[in-house]
Structure 1
């Protein structure tokens, strides 16, 4: 009986070598091309920031938001301070007697409270 050794005379064919070369070239091209999206993304963020800066709420909107927060929380309007806007929405803070600051945002007719722990706006 003549048994063949499966590991003897086992050579890599030209077809396998070709596939390996093609896959390597494609991988190198993909890696070297880099990701262009973050640069474009930073340009979009700058454009959005310019739009947000351009949207400043009116004094009437600030007073209306101050009233809404005061009605919901029973805080005095004098202690509610306008600090800025977030995408055109009024942002107001309240400093209590223990130096704790609460941040409120008025979106339409709704008031939201900022939760520092989760860094989210919670509807009231």
Structure 2
């Protein structure tokens, strides 16, 4: 039985979509730099009051810049380069290696029928996204 990368990717997309998983690369460093830069410029231009205004405006800009960066995990998975898909495939294949399946539909049916397998794959996926992609994961339940 040849194990296909596409079948595993479809499975992971299905279970992450079922849980409404989203992920975002953390941009908090960029937000902090922007906040500091705007506060600094405000201080140069307006003295102490400019520093206060610059800090407030910079904080708002930094917060705006780092929010709303979440994308659905299935979309992220399908946009992964082949080498990253292969890494993810290798980790998932180790979990489903004992299943007998012929296509993505059958594999998905088998996994969705086993809460233990589904939980193992979800944990592996969250670990992969946070470790390899350095992203934050959230659930829109």
| Length-normalised TM-score, structure 2 | 0.26
Higher relative contact order (CA 8 A, sep 6+): 2
Whichever structure has more helix as a proportion of its residues is 2
Whichever structure has more strand as a proportion of its residues is 1
